[in-house]
Structure 1
Amino acid sequence: MSREQYLAGAAAAVLVVALLAAVVVPGVVAVPSDEPLRPGPVRVAEDVAVAPGDVGGATAELELQTRVRHDGNPARNVSVRFRAYDAESGLLKAEETVDLGTLDAEGSVPVDTTLRVDREGGYVVETTVFRDGEAVDSRRRQVAGMEALVPSYAQTAVRFTDSEAVPPLSVSVDAVDEAANRTTLRVAASLTNGGDAVNDDLRVEFVARQADSNLVAARASADVGSIRPGRTVDAAATLTVPSEYNYYVDAALYKDGVLVGTARSVANLDPTERIAANETTREVEFEVSDFEGGGAGGGGVPTEAGAERTTGAQTPGFTAGVAAVALLAAALVARRRSR
């Protein structure tokens, strides 16, 4: 027998032994394990929805809702952390964490919580998904105009009438006493109930302030009573003030002792000078918008790649690949020696 034939026979023997061992000896060749190699990916499925909840005088609740998506193998110890940062200072103002436990089924699950923050300024709301203590995805949204939220105790559908034909507050001269140098003004506030229920326990307070000194010259109040839905009523009173001065006339609407609205007009009694009501106002509204610049997760892109369902690690031992490598190595050795 030549040397080449001997080496080829030895390589074949190694292959036969490896294949027999795979059949006879359990665990010699690796087999797929039932244990997953890595947990399935989880991510924020949609931007967090923000809505105002209970509103107090100094604080307000932000009701947060989102969904978390899970795919692939079971993911253990999944939680969602919600944080509210002050939009100007960046300081953390509120935080809540919701534990989801183990996610087995593929799909999305709803997650919601409530954060209580100060009723002023704006906030950046951050939603972060954790798996086994590791942050894997994050989203951000911006909330502005918290001061526009009306406290629960001050909520009413009655407002000063907003119409070009009907002013919210009208002022007229009712009488003049030249001997006493006094003028009686008739002031009337127009109020409209824009809601669906009857509103009562309403009161309007009128104040006349001398324009130059800002001193209160007169005040009066009027009980409104009940206003049915969609109806408009007037609350009127008289104010007696010194003549030949100009006045700012303010009307304040109270519901059960809570200030819910104001209106202003003027009374020009000085013939040499006139004033106008300052109608410059800045509308503040509660607003939720996307956070420009993205959060820790960029626009919600997970920090991990979505993995397919995988198998566990292999047990130590020979594999068919090892046997093939051994056969190839023996053939190469035989070829070199034949040269």
Structure 2
Amino acid sequence: MTQASGGALTARSTLSAKQRRMIAGGAIGTLMEYYDYYLYGLASAAVFPVVFFSSDDPVIAQLSSFATFAVGFFLRPVGGIIWGIVGDRAGRKTVLMFTVVGMGLATTGIGLIPSDHTIGIVAPLLLLFCRMLQGFFVGGEMGGAATMVVENAPTGKHGVYGAFLICGAGIANIVSGGLMAALGLTASSWFLTWGWRLPFLFSIVLAVVAVLLRRQLEESEEFTTTQVLQIQAAGKKANPLIEAFRHPKNAIMGILIGLPQSIAGYVVLTYGLAFMVGDKHIPAWMGFAGTMIVGVLQVFVAPPGERSPTGSDAAPSTSSAASASRAWSTRASCCSARATCG
């Protein structure tokens, strides 16, 4: 290998300051997204049936709580489509600023809702509304963050750097489970009145940090180049939704890849914890601590498991508008499909 080629290889494998900002800005949102979702899942199993559905039969209360958790997943595809179109037209930064603020406000709002003993049926209705907002904003957050990180990753390292977002999910598991476990060790009456609210209110702190990081984001060269080539070829920007579904195989594969692990993970997170607490009368903090341990394992397992063969996910060629558009929309659709199901 010549000195020139060796230098080029080193340059490609070294992250620039811009790339580091992009990855950090994307990862903080993913951490926040999964923090909010894991936190809601834990609370829907062990807290919300008592706080917001206490007038019902225990079984109905638990099912009602899980129903509000499920609603967020129905809103994720809607948010993914809407925010995906906005991101492909107006840029990733615009979407990522809106979604992280929306997520922070929705999750913090949950922590401020009075119990049904105080405001009656309005309490679960407000909970449902905040959960719908969570799902809507998350639908755009993960897809936009994943696309931005992958677009800014070094050549041949897209899979590895995309996997760091899953590391963020592991950290979110550690933080959410750890906070709930620590607070669950306090007196039960205080925990069900005020303690469970503190982790939800902490979401606004994560939102502020994310906004500060994302203020410095710039669009990737791949994104701007593709936009220019599309305009030159068609005279206008292509419809991002139509472009994504021109590759149905990739979209379907993205959904199928994410669906099984998401279902299994959330079933254990919610029903497993509810079974421990309700049927086996095991203290809730033990279940919270268990999710924290899973998060620790996730941080270390995700990057090696997502590692791509050398060069297999190299950046697409932009020799023509058509080839660039196909490669870019395929990558974006796969990231969005996986995010929508995960």
After TM superposition, the score normalised by the length of structure 1 is 0.22
Q: Based on CA coordinates, which of the two structures has the bigger radius of gyration?
A: 1
Structure with the higher strand share, 1 or 2:
1
Highest relative contact order (Cα 8 Å, sep 6+), 1 or 2? 2
Structure with the higher helix share, 1 or 2:
2
